[in-house]
Amino acid sequence: MKAKFNGKEINIRKVGILTGGGDCAGHNAVMFGLLRRINQANQSLPDNEKIELLGLFEGWKSLTKDPAKVPVDQIMKPLNRADLEDSFKEAGTIIKSSRTNLFSKASVEKELPEQAMANVKKLGLDCLVVLGGDDTLGAAGKLGKQFTFPMFGAPKTMDNDVYGTERTYGFASAVEESLHFLENITTTARSHNRTFVVELMGRHAGWVALYAGIAAGAEVVILPEEVVALEELFARVRKAMKAQGYSVVVVSEGARLFDKRYPDKINKKNQELLDAVLADPKHALVKARHEMPKKKDSFGNEQLGGIGEYFYSLLQKHVPEYEYRLQVCGHAIRGGIAHMEDRVLGLRFGDAIFDFMKQGKFGVYPGLKADEVIANDLLEVKGERFIPDTNQLYKMRNAVDFY
């Protein structure tokens, strides 16, 4: 297909597509949305302009493999309708993913961006479509600019924290799966007069915990965006237990006990309360976790998980009159099926990418604004779209406050 790029006419025959970062629902739908338009266009395009969609395995990692040394079928494969007509309804990614960072300090020193682009040319690719969060899309923007190469992106993340779109695909399905989990937990909590602490994924933005917690009727929702005062948490749990005999506390994995933006008084009090837990032999596992060094991925993001265990132990220690259980949802909420909203949003983004390609709008990623798909500059992509304290749901999040 002929298109205008950088002031020149190019013929896009081979389109490479990859999925980077964590998996989530909607990846396969984006691929299918793009493939449908490609198949439609191929019905009328001349033979020398027909387009092929090629799935690159394991994200950016695929482009670190030299096709002269590694069999091409271990790097990529042609995608067709049979691959995607059913799998677009599923979560995950049929072409696999990785957290490879082409622009980490070590990667740049090894000249991985140059190697990646050299491998793109060896594979005969005319264009790249990159599906991922702000880290993955940021790398796409840098690579496209540095080597003047046709590039597109699509914003995924179950955290829903990428700017330029009101929704990222992956979010709605994560909320639905979390909601189902919380509803099941609530019946058990009610049956045994317990408080359950449930940890949900959500790095620095707590959208999943906020939506799922409110929809499930959780008594307490703790977010990364808020100032966490442990004494307020204890009071809320006591209030719920006295009123109804059970409660569910939803904790986003990015929530913190201490933060430089917290008032000194709260940091100090939280530290005193935690120190009492760490000094108690009954909570040796929490102490061991607390002393472990923090791991980071290739993009410098701290690998989270475990904050729910802190809140669980703090409640056991300081509100001992009730019975507690801890549940960590973990990666389960990323998997299973792609729920309706992510299927449709993924299909829309894939469809829009073809339109951008046809119109010569390169270096962009689609976003949703007032139910319209818009084009955003890949060079301006950024994450950390946090929940503002003016958000209506933010104010509604602790159901026990309304008792």
Q: Which tens digits make up the pLDDT trace of 278-311? A: 999 999 888 888 887 777 665 666 656 689 999 9
**Mean pLDDT computed over every residue of the chain:** 95
Q: Which residues are catalytic?
A: 159
Class of domain 2-169+338-380 (CATH, top level): alpha beta
Domains 2-169+338-380 and 174-334 fall in the same CATH topology: yes
Q: How confident is the model at residue 202 (pLDDT cuts 50, 70, 90)?
A: confident
Q: What is the pTM of this model?
A: 0.93
The pLDDT tens digits for 146-158 are: 999 999 999 999 9
pLDDT of residue 91: 96
Name which CATH class applies to 174-334.
Answer: alpha beta
Decide: residue 261, CB within 10 A, 0-12 exposed, 13-18 middle, 19+ buried: exposed
What digits encode the pLDDT tens for the residues 331-390? 889 999 999 999 999 999 999 999 999 999 999 999 999 999 999 999 999 999 999 999
Show me where the domains of the chain are located: 2-169+338-380, 174-334
pLDDT at residue 373, rounded to an integer:
98
